[in-house]
Amino acid sequence: MDASEQARPLSSVDVGQTVIGATVAGQQGRLAARRLRYNSSTMPKLQDKSAVITGATRGFGYEIAKAFLSEGARVMICGRSHESTGIALERLRTELGPGISDRLTGMACDTSDPDQVAKLAERAVHNFGIIDVWVNNAALSGPYGEIETIPREDVEELVRTNILGYYYGTLAALEHMLPRRGGKIINIAGLGADGRPAPFQAAYSSTKAWVASFTRSVAGEHKDSGVGVFVLNPGMMTTDMLTQVCVTSDAARERIERLPTVLRVLGQHPEVPARRAVRLASSATDGRTGLVVKVLTPWKLAALLAADLGRRVTGKKKSVPDIKITRAGPSRCDEEDGS
């Protein structure tokens, strides 16, 4: 470097680049430290905790159950039928090994029925002695289409499951948690929870807006009770709720046919948000309540968009599940899957 280069004053661009570089380096350092702290603990995060997870026979609920079991929890799952619950139990034992058998149980439960939800709680207490965590996840998405094209019975059932089901589950959990001043309730939200409109999903999105408001309100009512009440919005996931869609009109079909592109960019495997459920259920949130956790934050969105751009530049492809679209008919095309 000659004298003229040494004497050259810094320009605003140089200063800007220096500041940006320092900021990025600082962020990377903090992330590395956070990962180090995360990985430094070998103790399972939910060791000896007992959890009830509704709608856990497939999709997001199944992944939450799997994550909880992997972190040492005792887990009670439920699905709408004995068959689906039995299949899920066997699948979990196969994937996680026979060692979890004494920490895993399940039963059929229609969460829109308060008596069945009460029995679910009683069974969990009978098996585990206590309920530390209750996850309300069982939900219906309903057909996709203009509100006037959706059968009234479908909307009514959606409301019973997505609203009353969460209400009954929350009551059952509070009954066991308030007297001992401890426990955590995690209500799974979804599209509409932020209050923004969701055309063609008016009924579903409205129930998720209700879930978010209901959960924050209950948290405010019991802020000094020792019970944590949380909202978890997992974002877009590659579950049956998005890959098997029932439509009621041509306009709805046309809109859904664009979904693979959106899934390619924003879709995540449900095990990703399931890790956030673990954190909410763990000691990391002790003494806190009313948290609203969004997995798809602005930073996460930017990262997903950047990753997609990188794949397109390098020619790599992200596998996206096929979208199965059916036209609404006399038979139902929906089951519980969560969020």
Any catalytic annotation for residue 144? no
Closest to 147 measured CA to CA, from 198, 208, 201, 207: 201
What long-range pairs does 251-258 form, CB within 8 A, spacing at least 24? Answer: 251/145, 251/146, 251/200, 252/144, 252/145, 252/146, 252/149, 252/200, 253/325, 253/327, 255/144, 255/200, 256/144, 256/323, 256/325, 257/323, 257/325
Provide the pairing of β-strand 183-188 with 227-233: parallel
Q: How far apart are CA 118 and CA 120, in angstroms?
A: 5
Q: Which among 144, 166, 167, 204 is annotated as catalytic? A: 204
C-alpha dist (Å) from residue 205 to 71, 154, 320, 328: 32, 14, 24, 19
Range list of H helices, the chain = 3-7, 12-40, 59-70, 82-96, 114-128, 152-159, 165-177, 202-221, 240-243, 250-256, 259-266, 271-281, 298-314
Q: What is the DSSP string of 219-244?
A: HHHTTTSSEEEEEEE--SB-SHHHHE
Do 268 and 237 touch, CB atoms closer than 8 A? yes
Nearest to 169 by CA among 135, 125, 123, 204: 135
Give the separation between CA 39 and CA 219, rounded to whole angstroms.
Answer: 31
Residues annotated as catalytic are 204
